[in-house]
Amino acid sequence: MALKAAGPVVLGGRDLSPRMLGMVAALAPALLAALVVTQVLDGGQRIVLDERLLGLGVAAVLIALRVPVLGVVAAAAGVTALVRAL
């Protein structure tokens, strides 16, 4: 709770300096990319290549084809479930 609140409580409502804004702008892709790889590869402090990677591959193709986010997410889950069921 305190961790979530730290930024907004201290800085709340103030606009960031251009330099800070630049850092925050770069933070988003870095954090999103880190979330993607940890959620796909992490198998309890081990790198695991499993069905999730296939689901993510399908998602990447659909994103490139400009399929809406909802479809991408559903397809990734569907493919992963299907391969697991085989």
Size of the site for another protein (CB under 8 A): 63
The 17-56 contact track toward another protein, x by CB under 8 A, reads: ----xxxxxxxxxxxxxxxxxxxxxx--xxx---xx--xx
Does residue 13 bind another protein (CB under 8 A)?
Answer: yes
Helical ranges in the chain per DSSP H: 2-11, 18-41, 51-64, 69-85
Does residue 61 bind another protein (CB under 8 A)?
Answer: no
> Cα angle at 30 between 28 and 31, to 5 degrees?
65
DSSP state of 63: H
Q: How distant is the alpha carbon of residue 25 from its chain centre?
A: 15
Residues making contact with another protein (CB under 8 A):
1, 3-16, 21-42, 45-47, 51-52, 55-56, 59-60, 63, 68-70, 72-82, 84-85
